[in-house]
Structure 1
Amino acid sequence: MGSIQRIALVMTIFGAVNWGLIAFFQTDLISGIFGGRDETLAKVIDGLIGVAGLVNLGLFLKK
């Protein structure tokens, strides 16, 4: 596993934990850290987590 895939995996785990917090406690950790849902930085982080999920799709499909 390369370094980009490791970083993507960590980001995907962070995103999954964030979604768990949203579902169970109505707390958005990313928005809380980066200043709110409408802040550009929070949107960029969410986008990077989405890209990380796509990178991890390669791990899933890898033989």
Structure 2
Amino acid sequence: MKILTTIALILLIIGGLNWLLVGLFQYDLVAALFGGQAAVLSRIIYAIVGLCAIYAIALLPKLRTACHHV
């Protein structure tokens, strides 16, 4: 599970940085790397990042518990 959590967090960070670039500079790094918004590969990347976000929601209670133990 630790590997899955690490991968999910890395993809969420990449997704967040992509949205930062979109918001500040109107530059979509995923689309630039994988062939534009309509490309199938770009859509798959966006879907994977979205699934990682859903997985991260499940981690929130664990994070809260971990913070209380410190």
TM-score, length basis structure 2: 0.85
Structure showing greater Rg:
2
Superposed CA RMSD: 1.0
Number of equivalences? 63
Specify the alignment match of 2:12 in structure 1. 12
User: Which residue identity lines up with residue 38 of structure 2 in the other structure?
Assistant: D
Q: Per residue, is there more helix in 1 or in 2?
A: 2
Aligned: 1:32 with 2:32: yes
What is the match of residue 45 of structure 1? 45
Deviations 1:18-43 (A, max 9, x none): 00000000000000000000000000
Higher RCO, 1 vs 2 (CA within 8 Å, ≥6 residues apart): 1
**2:23 alignment partner in structure 1:** 23
Letter in 1 for 2:20: G
Q: Which runs of 4+ in 1 moved over 4 A?
A: none
Query: For residue 56 of structure 2, what is the aligned residue in structure 1?
Result: 56
Unpaired runs of 5+ in structure 2? Answer: 66-70
> How far did residue 57 of structure 1 move?
1.2
For 1:27, the aligned partner's letter is Y
How many Å apart are 1:60 and its aligned residue? 1.4
